[in-house]
């Protein structure tokens, strides 16, 4: 599978491989983290979230990992499909605040 | 899941005119909505927090007289770009959250000022 050790703006993945997208967040007081998928010309779409008292959460084909020590968040996509091609953003917030702070996005391109 | 509807999806206007963008929460009430601006290949930048029944809260550097926000009901917030200029061309996105749930985003509005 393809992986990214540091945040990179683009990721090219072979269809069927696993993808790992990384994000560094800035606010140690944030206690809620979300991954969004944004397709071209559309608004962001919720993928999965995780609270700061967890270090891993799994969804359908996706897993989010949280490392609070180094303020690092990652999204793993299993068996990447063409429909996964999009820009992926991480976002952070405090649980008592609606305001989201977005990280730089990663453009994922799936090769057939 | 909850639905946030944004209208129009695309708008082209002449310099000097004003454009209104609507953001509606279709199946929940939202006392707070957010407006973002997104430049090509960039992340979402929060412009302002729209508060039902009170004034919007603008982020630093955002001109409140240029970007007028009205949140007249629990399901509708509007963003009006006044006296638009080509540099206001951008992708504008709104969001709202049902209580205790993650934010849902509108489809976005592509504004082109010519």
Top residue of B35, B52, B105, B109 to mutate, by most chain A CBs within 10 Å, is B105
- Closest CB to B43 among A42, A45, A105: A105
DSSP state string for A6-53: S--SEEEEETTS-EEEEEE---TT--EEEEEEE-TTS--EEEEEEETT
- Closest CB to A43 among B1, B49, B93: B93
Mean pLDDT rounded to a whole number for chain A: 90
| B7-12 average pLDDT score | 97
Cβ-count burial A22-54 (b if 16+ within 10 Å, e if not)? bbebeeeebbbbbbbbbeeebbbebbbbbebee
Helix extents (H) in B44-108: none
- Closest CB to B44 among A42, A102, A107: A102
pLDDT on residue A5: 41
Percent of chain B exceeding pLDDT 70 equals 97
| B103-109 average pLDDT score | 94
Residue A44 near residue A37 (C-beta atoms within 8 A): yes
If one counts every other C-beta atom within 10 angstroms of the C-beta of residue A84, the result is 18
Q: How does DSSP classify residue A85?
A: -
For B44-87, the pLDDT digits (tens) are 999 999 999 899 999 999 999 999 999 989 999 999 999 999 99
- Do the Cβ atoms of B107 and A43 come within 8 Å? yes
């Amino acid at each position: 599978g393809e992986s990214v050790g540091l945040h990179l703006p683009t990721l090219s993945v072979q269809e069927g491989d696993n993808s790992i997208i990384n994000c560094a967040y800035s606010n140690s007081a944030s206690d809620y983290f979300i991954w969004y998928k944004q397709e071209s010309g559309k608004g962001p779409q919720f993928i999965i979230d995780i609270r700061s008292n967890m270090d891993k959460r799994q969804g359908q084909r996706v897993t989010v990992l949280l490392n609070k020590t180094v303020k690092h968040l990652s999204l793993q996509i299993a068996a990447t499909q063409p429909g996964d091609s999009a820009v992926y953003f991480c976002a952070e917030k405090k649980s008592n605040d609606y305001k989201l702070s977005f990280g730089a996005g990663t453009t994922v391109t799936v090769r057939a | 899941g909850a639905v946030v509807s944004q209208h129009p999806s695309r708008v082209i206007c002449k310099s000097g005119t004003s454009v209104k963008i609507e953001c509606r929460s279709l199946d929940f009430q939202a006392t707070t909505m957010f407006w973002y601006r997104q430049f090509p290949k960039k992340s979402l930048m929060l412009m302002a927090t729209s508060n039902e029944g009170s004034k919007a809260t603008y982020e630093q550097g955002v001109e409140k007289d240029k970007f007028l926000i009205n949140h007249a009901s629990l399901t509708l917030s509007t963003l009006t770009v006044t006296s638009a200029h080509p540099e206001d061309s951008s992708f504008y996105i709104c969001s709202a959250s049902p209580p205790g749930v993650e934010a849902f985003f509108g489809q976005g509005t592509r504004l082109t000022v010519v």
